[in-house]
Amino acid sequence: MRVELSGITYWRHDLGHCLHTTMGVLLQHHGLDPLQVLGAAWGFFHRPGDVRREEYFYPLHREGLLESMAPHHPVWSRWHSPEGAEAGWREVRAAVLAGSPVAAAVDNFHLPFRPAYRDVHTNHLLAVYGFDDERDLVLVADPVPPRFQGAIPIGQFTDARDSANPVLHDRDLFFTDNPLANRWLEVGVSDEVPPHDRDFVRGVLEANLKGFTESRPGPELTGIAGQQRFLDEVGDRLAAGDESVIDETFIVTGAVLAMTGVHGDYLAATAREFDSPALLEAARTVDRVAHHWSALRIGVAMARDEPALAEGPVRSRAKHLMADQELALDRLRTVARSL
């Protein structure tokens, strides 16, 4: 039997990574605009100690992964953890046969189209949209450069999904030492998607602004105050020579960077749609914040050998990041009142 689901097309954001890319591919299959769904939310949430060594890490503050990424839309996702490789493929095959493409966790070391093939282990995510039983092939879509969509042998795919993802040398960084365990992610839409009109956008902006200013009890770091505390603690841990802060910060800020970058482009697209110069200016400021996160993330990553040397540059970058973020929030408050 051969199955190839339709509606699988390219989607990617330059500041995103495999999580946003794969969710975008699957959302398009369901007829949704990935930028509108994935780009609407903006906020900060971090639970200290809850950091998973995977490229598709995202802080969970709702029931599921996609619900946390896209709280303004009726979308959902559920992780499945099968008992072994055979059960894992049986479950994925059944979902695709039923008409639903899924996301699968894989180790790039075993995928022939990835630059890391047979070189670097890393915990990656891609979409599965078909299979060919007679030829022992699986159809996968991975828009992350160098970009691939097509068939690979089921044996290679199984090795990638069942990998222990070990640390073998000094190039296995950030997303290793976390077995893939044949995990796969189911994605769906639970209700009618609201129209993307001025009322919806105003509600999005107001909810995001509330999230940044509202304080919550508990150990979680949330909103603008939680973000400041997170950045201060990164500086403190670097000053103390804490090497564990390198990987943790790289993973956590990767999720924040992707969310901020996609949100900036969402605002810019919405500004053009509504012919709003004020919203476009706010979008540009959000984009500046995203690039601050990118610079901070790279600076921390380069400090593996001597963490204390990165303290000054990281604190300086954090100061400029927070200043531009406050400016962006002020501009978005003005825009929300005028919509």
- pLDDT for 171 equals 61
Residue extents of the structural domains in the chain = 2-189, 198-338
- Interhelix angle 85-97/154-161, nearest 10 degrees: 120
Residues counted in the chain? 339
Q: Tokens in use for 55?
A: 């490229």
**% residues pLDDT > 70 (the chain):** 98
The dihedral region occupied by 84, where left means phi > 0, alpha psi between -120 and 50, and beta the remainder, is left
Per-residue pLDDT at 214: 85
Q: How do residues 283-317 score in pLDDT, each as one tens digit? A: 999 999 999 999 999 999 988 889 998 999 999 99
Kindly tell me if the per-residue pLDDT of 78 is higher than 90.
Answer: yes
Of 186, 214, 184, 225, the residue nearest 75 (C-alpha):
186
Q: What is the mean pLDDT of residues 272-279?
A: 96
pLDDT per position as a tens digit, 8-28: 999 999 888 899 999 999 999
With a pLDDT cut of 90, the percent of the chain lying above it is: 82
- H helices of the chain, in order, are 18-29, 34-39, 65-69, 85-97, 154-161, 198-213, 223-239, 244-274, 277-301, 311-338
Shared fold status for 2-189 and 198-338? no
Q: Write the pLDDT tens digit of every residue in 90-113.
A: 999 999 999 999 999 999 999 999
Average pLDDT (122-142) is 97
**Residue 203 clears pLDDT 70, i.e. is over it:** yes
What letters, b where the CB count within 10 A reaches 16 and e where it falls short, cover 23-49?
A: bbbbbbbeebbbbbbbbbbbbbbbeee
Mean pLDDT of the chain: 94
Q: Residue 178 pLDDT more than 90? A: no
- Token duo for residue 33: 């605009």
Which residue type occupies 153?
P
Per residue in 108-118, pLDDT tens?
A: 999 999 998 89
pLDDT at 216 over 90: no
Q: Tokens representing 74?
A: 């009726």
> Bridge-partner residues for 130, per DSSP?
4, 139
Tell me the CATH architecture of domain 2-189: Alpha-Beta Complex (3.90)
Residue 170 has pLDDT above 80, yes or no: no
| Euclidean distance between CA atoms 7 and 31, whole angstroms | 8
306: helix, coil or strand? coil
Please name the residue that has the structure tokens 């998973």.
52
Asked if 23 and 73 touch (Cβ cutoff 8 Å), the reply is no
Element at 77 (helix H, strand E): strand 75-80
CATH class of domain segment(s) 198-338: mainly alpha
Are 116 and 15 within 8 A, CB to CB? no
- The answer to whether the CB of 303 falls within 8 A of the CB of 238 is yes
